[in-house]
């Protein structure tokens, strides 16, 4: 059974800092990995999708990498801003299935 773990559970940083969020998964037979952002009381906003054949994806200040063989992904946020404060979730699509398996998320607070 696929399990997704996100470390740390919570992170607090000063504005302007570069930071890395970690995601690991137990079964490397995935189709893709998606990073989401969730604001309090809101739904999920898709940030980046990495296909299993890709190593990384970039969008603005965000860069996500994928090492499928080791079961790891990282989300790098450059020059963090208070508006980046949210919970960040990673999820994988398991081979042979369309469903996303999520981690519990990392709650990020960027202090002005």
Residues making contact with other proteins (CB under 8 A): 4, 31-32, 34, 36, 41-46, 49, 51, 89, 91, 93, 97-105
Q: How far is the CB of 106 from other proteins (least distance, A)?
A: 11
* Backbone torsions φ then ψ of 55, nearest 5 degrees: -105, -30
Q: How far is the CB of 15 from other proteins (least distance, A)?
A: 26
Q: How far is the CB of 88 from other proteins (least distance, A)?
A: 11
Name which of 14 and 41 has its Cβ closer to other proteins: 41
Name which of 3 and 17 has its Cβ closer to other proteins: 3
Name which of 15 and 104 has its Cβ closer to other proteins: 104
Q: Which two tokens stand for residue 30?
A: 């995935």
Is 25 buried (19+), middle (13-18) or exposed (0-12) by CB count in 10 A? buried
Is 4 buried (19+), middle (13-18) or exposed (0-12) by CB count in 10 A? buried
Distance CA 112, CA 90 (A): 26
């Amino acid at each position: 059974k696929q399990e997704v773990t996100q470390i740390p559970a919570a992170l607090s940083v000063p504005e302007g800092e570069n930071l890395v969020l970690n995601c690991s998964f137990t079964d490397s037979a995935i189709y893709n990995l998606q990073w989401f952002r969730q604001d309090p009381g809101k739904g999920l906003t898709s940030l980046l999708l990495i296909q299993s054949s890709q190593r990384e994806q970039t969008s603005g200040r965000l860069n996500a990498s994928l090492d499928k063989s080791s079961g790891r992904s990282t989300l790098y946020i450059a020059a963090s801003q208070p508006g980046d404060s949210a919970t960040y979730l990673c999820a994988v699509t398991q081979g042979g299935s369309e469903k996303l398996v999520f981690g519990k998320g990392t709650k990020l607070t960027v202090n002005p």
